[in-house]
Amino acid sequence: DTAVSQTPKYLVTQMGNDKSIKCEQNLGHDTMYWYKQDSKKFLKIMFSYNNKELIINETVPNRFSPKSPDKAHLNLHINSLELGDSAVYFCASSAHNGRNTEAFFGQGTRLTVV
C-alpha cells in the first residue's frame, strides 16, 4: 500500500492549459503539503493544509489553487500553465503540525509545459 500517492506521475501539456494533480494519503494524517522541485533540484514548499484548512501559502502565484475535499486528499490545480511551471511536484503528509513529527512524501509528478 502506497502511503502517499500522486497522480499522474508524468504530465506533459501545452502553455495556457489548465491541469490538476491529485494526492491521497492513507496514513490518517492531519497535515498535507505541496512542494515544488525545480530544475536545479531545489525543494520549496508551496502550500500546507491542516484538517482541510490552508495554513501556508508561500507566495505562490494565484494560478495555483490547492483543494482539500477531505483530510486524506490535497489536489493541486494549475491554471494558464507557463513554461516556468515545469518542475517535479511532491505531495507530502505528516501526523500533525510540530517539530517532532516526520513527513511522508509521494513519488512526485513531473510536469512539463511545452
Partner 1 sequence: DAKTTQPNSMESNEEEPVHLPCNHSTISGTDYIHWYRQLPSQGPEYVIHGLTSNVNNRMASLAIAEDRKSSTLILHRATLRDAAVYYCILRDDFGNEKLTFGTGTRLTIIP
Of the candidate residues 50, 68, 75, 93, the single one contacting partner 1 (CB under 8 A): 50
How many Cβ atoms from other residues are within 10 Å of residue 95's Cβ? 15
- Main-chain dihedrals φ then ψ at residue 11, nearest 5 degrees: -145, 115
Dist. CA 27–CA 69, nearest whole Å = 16
Of the candidate residues 90, 93, 111, 113, the single one contacting partner 1 (CB under 8 A): 90
Cβ 98 vs Cβ 15: under 8 Å: no
Least distance in angstroms from the C-beta of 87 to partner 1: 13
> Is residue 97 near partner 1 by the rule CB under 8 A?
yes
> Is residue 107 near partner 1 by the rule CB under 8 A?
yes
Cell of residue 99, nine digits: 517539530
**Binding positions for partner 1, rule: CB under 8 A:** 4, 31, 33, 41-45, 48, 50, 55-56, 58, 90, 92, 97-100, 102-108
